[in-house]
Chain A
Amino acid sequence: MTSSAPDIRIENLTIGYGGKPIIEDINATLPGGGVSVILGGSGCGKSTLLKNILKLNPAMGGSVYLGKHNIFTLKKKAFSCLKQRIGVLFQDGALLGALNLFDNVALPLREHTKLKPAEIAEVVKAKLSLVGLEKFVDYFPNELSGGMRKRAGLARAMVMDPDILFCDEPTSGLDPINSAELDELLLELKKRFEMTIVVVSHDLASMQAIADYVLVLGKGKTLFNGSKESLMATDDVYLRQFLDRKGEKRESSRITMPHLDPSVMRMDCNKLLGDLDNN
Chain B
Amino acid sequence: MPQSVPEKTIMQPFAFLGKVSLNILGEAGAICIFLFEAILHVFSSLGIFTKTIKELYFIGVRSITVISLIGLFTGMVVGLQTYYALSKFGSEGFLGAAVALSLVRELGPVLTAIMLTGRAGSSMTAEIGVMRISEQIDALELMDINPMSYLVSPKLLASLISFPILTALFDLIGIAGGYLSGVALLGGNSGVYFHRVCTSLSWEDISAGFTKSIVFAVVVCIVCCFQGYFTHFRKDGKGAEGVSQATTTAVVMSCVMVLVTDYILTSLLFQ
Instruction: Enumerate chain A interface residues (CB-CB to B < 8 A).
Output: 51, 54, 56, 80, 83-84, 86, 88, 90-92, 94-98, 107-108, 110-112, 156
Q: In the docked arrangement, what's the CA distance between A123 and B138, Å? A: 24
Residue of B nearest to A110 (CB): B47
Q: Could you pull out 27 A-B pairs where Cβ atoms are within 8 angstroms?
A: A51-B138, A54-B142, A80-B144, A83-B141, A83-B142, A83-B143, A83-B144, A84-B144, A88-B139, A91-B135, A94-B134, A94-B135, A94-B136, A94-B138, A96-B131, A96-B136, A96-B140, A97-B134, A98-B127, A107-B143, A107-B145, A108-B145, A110-B47, A111-B47, A111-B143, A111-B144, A112-B144
Residue of B nearest to A159 (CB): B143
Q: In the docked arrangement, what's the CA distance between A80 and B145, Å? A: 9
**Cβ contacts B203-214/A at 8 Å (1 or 0 each):** 000000000000
- Known contacts A110-B47, A111-B46: A97-B136 contact under CB 8 Å: yes
Cβ of B138: which chain A residues have Cβ within 8 Å of it? 51, 56, 90, 94
Question: Which residues of B (131-183) have their CB < 8 Å from a CB of A?
Answer: 131, 134-136, 138-145
Cβ of A112: which chain B residues have Cβ within 8 Å of it? 144
| B100 contacts partner chain A, Cβ-Cβ < 8 Å | no
Question: Count the B residues whose beta carbon is within 8 Å of the partner chain — how many?
Answer: 16
Q: In the docked arrangement, what's the CA distance between A127 and B141, Å? A: 21
Q: In the docked arrangement, what's the CA distance between A96 and B145, Å? A: 12
- Min CB–CB distance A45 → chain B (angstroms): 17
Cβ of A156: which chain B residues have Cβ within 8 Å of it? 143
Cβ of A51: which chain B residues have Cβ within 8 Å of it? 138
Q: In the docked arrangement, what's the CA distance between A207 and B196, Å? A: 81
Cβ of B47: which chain A residues have Cβ within 8 Å of it? 110-111
Cβ of A84: which chain B residues have Cβ within 8 Å of it? 144
Q: In the docked arrangement, what's the CA distance between A86 and B142, Å? A: 8
Give 9 closest A-B pairs by Cβ, nearest first.
Answer: A94-B139, A83-B144, A94-B135, A88-B142, A108-B143, A90-B135, A80-B144, A111-B145, A84-B144
Question: Which residues of B (108-135) have their CB < 8 Å from a CB of A?
Answer: 127, 130-131, 134-135
Residue with the highest number of chain A CB atoms closer than 10 Å, among B46, B131, B135: B135
Residue of B nearest to A90 (CB): B135
Residue of A nearest to B140 (CB): A96
Q: Knowing that A88-B142, A92-B134, A107-B143 are A-B contacts, what are 19 other residue pairs whose CB atoms are under 8 Å apart, sorted by A's residue number?
A: A51-B138, A54-B142, A56-B138, A80-B144, A83-B143, A86-B142, A88-B139, A94-B134, A94-B136, A95-B139, A96-B136, A98-B127, A108-B143, A108-B145, A111-B46, A111-B47, A111-B144, A111-B145, A156-B143
Residue of A nearest to B46 (CB): A111
Cβ of B130: which chain A residues have Cβ within 8 Å of it? 97
Q: In the docked arrangement, what's the CA distance between A111 and B143, Å? A: 9
Q: In the docked arrangement, what's the CA distance between A84 and B143, Å? A: 6
Cβ of B145: which chain A residues have Cβ within 8 Å of it? 107-108, 111
Q: In the docked arrangement, what's the CA distance between A219 and B40, Å? A: 45
Cβ of A108: which chain B residues have Cβ within 8 Å of it? 143-145
Q: In the docked arrangement, what's the CA distance between A97 and B131, Å? A: 8
Cβ of B131: which chain A residues have Cβ within 8 Å of it? 96-97
